[in-house]
Amino acid sequence: MATADEVKSIFPAMVERFVPEKADGVNATILFDLSGDNGGQYWIKVAEGNAETGEGDISDPAMTVKASADDWFAVATGQMNAMQAFMTGKLKILGDMGLAMKMQTMFAQ
């Protein structure tokens, strides 16, 4: 089980791995709504070739990712395939599905 600090560290790491060339034309905020003991709400905003992250709820995200903190940790660290997690219901996407597909290339592993 991932600790709260491990879950929290995912988002700055994603920003560090951000590939601006893969985000051409993207101006969106993604909300991560993670359940479980070490869950919480985190967001990543992509705009003008930059990415930034923060914690807490945001209004009107382009896309919301819902998962348990442990499942998202497994996806973000490459221990679980994102598509498989989505197909088995461990990962739910609300909103812009095109952005969800693009997200995989915008944040290199």
Average pLDDT, the chain: 94
Q: Is the pLDDT of residue 48 over 70?
A: yes
What's the average model confidence in pLDDT over 82-91?
94
> What number is the average pLDDT over the span 84-109?
91
Q: How far is CA 83 from CA 32, 47, 78, 86, in A?
A: 16, 25, 12, 5
User: Using an 8 Å Cβ cutoff, are 91 and 82 in contact?
Assistant: yes
Percent of the chain, pLDDT > 70? 99
Q: Which residue, among 2, 42, 94, has the nearest Cα to 86 in the 3D structure?
A: 94
Domains of the chain (ranges plus CATH)? 4-96 (3.30.1050.10)
What mean pLDDT do residues 21-38 have? Answer: 95
For 66-75, the pLDDT digits (tens) are 999 999 999 9
pLDDT score of 109 more than 70: no
Q: What is the reported pLDDT for 54? A: 97
Mean pLDDT of 101-105: 88
More confident residue, 108 or 79: 79
